[in-house]
């Protein structure tokens, strides 16, 4: 399956540049708040990108200068009249696919990342933030709790104590602080955000695609398995990669002092 670069999305813009897919939520007038159709389109795009050998890295960002994703578009969920409508059938699929996609996913966070926006960012592999970035989980103000991993993924990234401050006490995290507490890789001026994300994407593309996919899956499993099982799975993954064409190419390139040409095989 190939990503259709000519496809017109209702809620997103897609640009593919040098094997990097830049997927931008394009709802600037609503501060990029997400609706059910947003989650559905995101999930469908990720499935296509996951199967496209020409896509090596995905950058996920928001349109404009104010907001990455400001949370749920409550107006779009209000028709059922129940709080449960805020949790859509596509939301979990999109968040889980972001996390488990075989391709590395970089979140370029430009401004507000509240509620579901924060949680989608948590499902990405690497977070790069602008200086005006703000993170928060305001769901308890609506009588709810974070429903896309905010109580689970966040605690695994910044620890239980800080997560309680964010979820229970409503504390917001700034872009600079996100780096200090391990939530983000780097904080840069807003005008430099996409350049920095592309620079990280280019570094990722110097690595073998299969190795990245296996390593990513093992890292995720490390959070839900004991050390003995985890080390066994790691050894199995190492052994499987040893017979791939990419490993042969990588070791040959190292001996010959040249850049490897990985094909993902």
Active-site option among 119, 131, 172, 256: 119
Q: Is 139 a catalytic residue?
A: yes
Q: Say what the pLDDT of residue 82 is.
A: 47
Mean pLDDT score of the chain: 92
Gap between the Cα atoms of 115 and 136, Å rounded: 6
Phi, psi (5° rounding) for residue 34? -100, 135
Work out the pLDDT band at 80, boundaries 50, 70, 90. Answer: very low
**Does the pLDDT of residue 162 top 60, yes or no?**
yes
- State pLDDT tens for residues 28-54: 999 999 999 999 999 999 999 999 999
Work out the pLDDT band at 5, boundaries 50, 70, 90. Answer: confident
Q: Say what the pLDDT of residue 189 is.
A: 98
What CATH code is assigned to 209-256? Answer: 1.10.12.10
Class of domain 12-204: alpha beta
Q: Is 10 a catalytic residue?
A: no
Active-site option among 44, 48, 139, 249: 139
> What is the mean predicted confidence (pLDDT) over 63-83?
75
Work out the pLDDT band at 6, boundaries 50, 70, 90. Answer: confident
Gap between the Cα atoms of 120 and 245, Å rounded: 34
Q: Taking the chain, what is the end-to-end CA distance rounded to the nearest angstrom?
A: 16
Q: Say what the pLDDT of residue 76 is.
A: 58
- State pLDDT tens for residues 193-213: 999 999 999 999 999 999 999
> What is the mean predicted confidence (pLDDT) over 146-170?
95
Q: What is the pTM of this model?
A: 0.92
Q: DSSP letters of 134-173?
A: EEE--GGGGT----SSTTTHHHHHH-HHHHHHHHTS---E
Provide CB contacts within 8 A for 10, sequence distance 6+.
Answer: 37, 41
Domain layout of the chain by residue ranges? 12-204, 209-256
Gap between the Cα atoms of 219 and 234, Å rounded: 9
């Amino acid at each position: 399956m190939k990503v259709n670069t000519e496809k017109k999305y209702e809620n997103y813009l897609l640009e593919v540049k040098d094997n990097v897919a830049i997927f931008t939520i394009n709802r600037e007038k609503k501060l990029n708040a997400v609706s059910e159709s947003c989650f559905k389109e995101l999930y469908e795009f990720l499935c296509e990108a996951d199967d496209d050998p020409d896509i090596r890295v995905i950058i996920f960002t928001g349109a404009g200068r104010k907001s990455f994703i400001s949370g749920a578009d409550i107006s779009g969920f209000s028709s059922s009249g129940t709080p449960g409508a805020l949790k859509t059938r596509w939301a979990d699929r999109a968040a889980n696919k972001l996390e488990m996609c075989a391709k590395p996913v970089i979140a370029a966070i430009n401004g507000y990342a509240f509620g579901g926006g924060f949680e989608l960012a948590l499902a990405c592999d690497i977070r790069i933030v602008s200086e005006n970035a703000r993170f928060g989980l305001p769901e308890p103000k609506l009588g709810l709790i974070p429903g896309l991993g905010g109580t689970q993924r966040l605690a695994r990234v910044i620890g239980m104590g800080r997560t309680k401050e964010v979820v229970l006490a409503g504390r917001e995290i700034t872009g600079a602080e996100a780096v200090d507490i391990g939530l983000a890789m780097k904080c840069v001026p807003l005008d430099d955000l996409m350049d920095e994300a592309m620079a990280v994407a280019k570094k990722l593309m110097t690595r073998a695609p299969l190795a990245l996919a296996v390593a990513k899956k093992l890292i995720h499993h490390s959070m839900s398995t004991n050390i003995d099982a985890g080390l066994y799975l790691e050894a199995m993954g190492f052994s499987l990669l040893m017979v791939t064409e990419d490993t042969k190419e990588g070791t040959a390139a190292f001996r010959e002092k040249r850049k490897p040409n990985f094909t993902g095989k």
